[in-house]
Amino acid sequence: MSKRVDHIVHELIDQYLLADDTLRPWIIGFSGGKDSTVLLQLVWKALIKIKHNLKSPLLREVHVVSNDTMVENPIITDYVYKVLSQIDQAALEQDLPIKTRKTIPRLEDSFWVNLIGRGYPVPNSSFRWCTERLKVRPTSRFILEQLDISGEAIILLGTRSSESATRAKSVKKLSVRGKRLSKHPNHQRTNTNAPKKDLRLEEIWFIINTMPSPWGADNSELFQIYSDASADDYECPTMVTNKGHSSCGQSRFGCWVCTVVKEDKSMSALIENGFGWLAPLLRYRNELVLERNDPQHRMPTMRNGRPAINEMGTYTFKYRADILNRLLNSQREIQEIKPHLELITNQELIAIQTTWQRDMNFGYSVSNIYNTVYDKCIDMKKDNEKLQREEELLKKACKDSPEDFSVIQDSLALLKNKAILTKKRGLKDDIEKRIEQSLSSTN
């Protein structure tokens, strides 16, 4: 095993010291899981050898990029953020050119803005709208930023051929025989390298259990997380180093609200193994799966207004409000144990209200739902005398035609919300649509 590790480290050293004029930075996608942890440990070991044994300057930057979908398993999120902080501190103390970077989806790409705001049905294998928005785009933006700065970049992949037949095919497709680097399929001027593609699962766990974390993390904590989330012991043929190591599992962590898989075994196992406070999340996720194809929750049209197949379009306004209400109730329930935990951000709540209004959904209010759940009386107008005065004047002007008051109010809301989201539809079209809606209801 030590020879295989030394071979990978030697290859990394050779690649790092390869003479070129660009000093292409290395980019490592770091999820905090076993594979990305082992990859970073091997890279770290290579840099230490270059610095201390070869006395060579470390000129290439190494970017450790962690993408937070904002709906990650809370246990993993807390663990990853703690580890990233340790990496930053250790890299500074050891004078290594390693920098961490967190990426998140843009507001209009977030899971809740699309699900509750736009009414997209929860993802499944045939309509998997989440991966591109939550994972691909944030990471791609970071890569493009580096290309603007450096011209080129090398992405180190933590993939292994033994993970699955699909992953083996992917690794083989990206590989070029006799060469370490392969062209990235989506980014020009970018190459990929999978240094540990030939390692097996047992070897991954052997490295984690025997090689101390160079940034001072406790790898046994990572091992324990996998162990707690393992629903099937037979899935973990791991090589252990002492009798205290239990079966670790091959649990895959991802979004707690993932509906692409039929059953979230890792979340269920965590709840069974002492993390009972996660139960509201699993319950909410399971409800979304069960209700996905219920016709009473779906509109007959898609977002572009065209008739939907089998009359199963986007979620109805009523159902969007209902699942927001349930989400906030789940959040409040969890906050009794984990006060810091947010399932949805305030920015997303504002964006959802904006999206509802652009969809001409003025019958439901995000603030009213929030106030009901949290027993609050949040009303921005109370704190804004100017808005109150404007409303009073408008009501006075529309005294003889009260129906005009709501149309003008809604149009003003559309105007004020215009700058909140990056993707903007024409304000003129929005207001015309609202006026047509009013005339239609009057007739």
Domain positions in the chain are: 2-217, 293-374, 388-442
Q: Which of 358, 345, 360 shows the shortest CA–CA distance to 424?
A: 358
Q: Which of 379, 359, 409 shows the shortest CA–CA distance to 117?
A: 359
Residue 145, Cα to own-chain centre: how many angstroms? 19
> Domain 2-217 belongs to what architecture?
3-Layer(aba) Sandwich (3.40)
pLDDT value at position 162? Answer: 53
Question: What averages of pLDDT result for each successive group of 10 residues across the chain (443 residues)?
Answer: 90 85 88 95 96 88 96 95 97 97 95 97 92 94 90 91 53 53 81 92 93 95 90 41 39 82 91 96 97 94 84 93 98 96 94 86 90 82 56 72 68 58 56 64 61
pLDDT value at position 415? Answer: 61
Q: What is the DSSP string of 343-357?
A: SS-HHHHHHHHHHHH
CB proximity list for 197: less than 8 A, separation 6 or greater: 157, 159, 160, 161, 171, 175
364-401 core/surface letters (b: 16 or more CB in 10 A; e: else): bebeebbeebeeeeeeeeeeeeeeeeeeeeeeeebeee
pLDDT value at position 438? Answer: 64
pLDDT value at position 440? Answer: 66
Question: Could you tell me how many residues make up the chain?
Answer: 443
pLDDT value at position 239? Answer: 34
- The answer to whether 225 and 188 are in contact (CB under 8 A) is no
In Å, how far are 76, 272, 277, 319, 332 from 337, measured between CA atoms? 17, 17, 7, 28, 9
Paired residues of 179 in beta bridges = none
Both tokens of 420, joined, read 């909140």
